[in-house]
Structure 1
Amino acid sequence: MSPDLLLGRTVRLVPLSTEHAEALFPSASDPEVWRWIPRPRPESVAQTRALLSRLIADPARRSFAVLRLSDDTVIGTTSLYDLDLDEGRTEAGTTWFDRSCWGGPYNTESKLLLFGHAFEELGLVRLALRTDHLNVRSQHALSALGLVREGTLRSHMRRGDGTRRDSVYYSVLAEEWPALRERLRARVEAKAGSPEVN
C-alpha cells in the first residue's frame, strides 16, 4: 500500500504503525476524546503502542493514521474492521481525533477517503458504523450524512468503565455511495474554507 494511497485536500491516511503511538497518545489519553470508545483508555505511550499493535495485527482490519497535510502532524486514526472481502462488507470505526481538530474538515475527509477505499478500491457492497446509544451527537451526524439507521443491538458491548451499552447501527450500500460521496465532498469544501485550516 502506497503511503499516499488515501490522499485528500486536508489529510492523508497512511497505514497505522506502532511508531504513531507517541503522536496519538495525547488524544488517546484525553477522557473526552475517548468517551465513546469501548476500550480501556491508554494511560501511557507504551499502552498506546500495545493498542496500536493489536489493531495492526488483526487480519480483518485495515487501520490508518490520519496526517494533516498542512504540517504532516498525526491528528488521529481510523479503521475498517470486520473486513470480509468474500461477503463484500466491513465496518468503519476505532476513530479518534485530537480535540483541537474537532469541527474541522479532518474527520469528514477521513470518512470520504476511507469509504472511497472501501467501495471504489476494495469493491465492497456494504459499510456499517455503530455508535453508543447515548452518543446522540454521533447519531445526528450519521443521519445528517444520509446513512441508514438500521437498528439497535441491546447490551451489545462493554464500555471502558465496565457498564453495558446498546449499539446503534448505521450503514451505506454501494449504490448509495455516490450520493453520500457528494455530501461528504461538499462538507469538506465548506469546512476547509474555515480560518482554522488556512
Structure 2
Amino acid sequence: MSSYTPPVDERPDDTPWPALKWPIADAVVLSGGSVTLTKFTAADAHELFAALDHEAVWAHVPGRPASAEQFGASIAERVTERGDTAWVVRLSEAVGGLAAGAVVGTTSYLDVVVGAARLEIGWTMYTPAVWGGRVNPSAKFLLLRHAFEELGAGRVQLKTDIRNHRSQRAIARLGARPEGVLRRYQPRADGTMRDSVLFSVIAEEWPAVSSGLQERLNP
C-alpha cells in the first residue's frame, strides 16, 4: 500500500460561520461593468434561446433544447425542483457587435447549501460573439460580490468539463483556486462520463480576488 500524507489544515483557528442569507428576492438586479443580471422569467426564454442557439455553445453542456419553450421549461424546472437561481445576462454597453440591452447569456447559483454557507456558480453560457472579452469576468464579479458581500457565503465553487480547456482558463483567470478533478462525475450529452475540474473561492480569499477582478475590468 502506498503511503498517504494528509493535507494541512489551512484554517486551524476557524470560527463559527453564519448560514447563507437565502433566498434571493425576485427584484434583485446585479449591474456593473459590461452587464446587467436579472433573475430569469418565462418572458426571457425566446431571447435567451436565440442568443445561445450555436453548436459551439452546447459542445460541453448536456441537454441542448430544441425550442425556446423547452429551454424555458428546463430552466424553470431547475429553479423550482433544485432551488437554483438562474440569471439572464444582458449587455449594458455595446460588445462584440451587439447593442446595449441585448441578451447574451445565462448563469446560475446552484447546489446551494444554506447551513454551510456555500453555493456554486454554473450553467454559464454566452453567445460566441462575447467570448474572451469583458462579459464573463463582469458577470462573475457581480455574482461573486453578491455571494460574499450580500449573501454571506463562505465558499463559492465552479466546475467544468476536463475537456473544456477554454472554460478552465476563464475560471482560473477569475482568481479561483483549482482543487482537483472529480473523476467520472456526470454524464455528457453523448452518454460518456465526464471528469469535472473543480475550482473555488473562499471568503478569506475574496478581497484579493475582488481587487484582481476590478483591476482587470478597470485597467
TM-score (norm 1): 0.89
Segment of structure 1 superposing worse, 130-139 or 3-12? 3-12
In structure 2, distance between residues paired with 1:118 and 1:55: 19
In structure 2, distance between residues paired with 1:62 and 1:13: 11
Q: Deviations over 1:120-164 (max 9, x none)?
A: 110010010001011122222323333111111111000112111
Aligned to 2:79: 56
In structure 2, distance between residues paired with 1:145 and 1:113: 12
Aligned to 2:37: 13
Segment of structure 1 superposing worse, 164-173 or 64-73? 64-73
Aligned to 2:114: 85
Question: Is the contact made by 1:81 and 1:92 (CA closer than 8 Å) also made in structure 2?
Answer: yes
Select which of 44, 67, 80 maps to 2:67: 44
Larger radius of gyration: 2
Unaligned runs of 5+ residues in structure 1 are: 191-198
Question: Is the contact made by 1:18 and 1:52 (CA closer than 8 Å) also made in structure 2?
Answer: no
Question: Is the contact made by 2:52 and 2:104 (CA closer than 8 Å) also made in structure 1?
Answer: no
Q: CA deviation at 1:5?
A: 2.8
Q: CA deviation at 1:171?
A: 0.5
Q: CA deviation at 1:42?
A: 0.8
Select which of 112, 128, 147 maps to 2:176: 147
Select which of 5, 22, 26 maps to 2:46: 22
Equivalent residue letter for 1:42: P
Select which of 123, 128, 150 maps to 1:121: 150
In structure 1, distance between residues paired with 2:32 and 2:139: 8
Aligned to 1:194: none
Q: Deviations over 1:75-115 (max 9, x none)?
A: 11111101112111001100111111112211110000001
Equivalent residue letter for 2:36: R
Aligned to 2:194: 165
Unaligned runs of 5+ residues in structure 2 are: 1-24, 94-99
In structure 2, distance between residues paired with 1:40 and 1:2: 26
In structure 1, distance between residues paired with 2:200 and 2:46: 33
Equivalent residue letter for 1:101: V
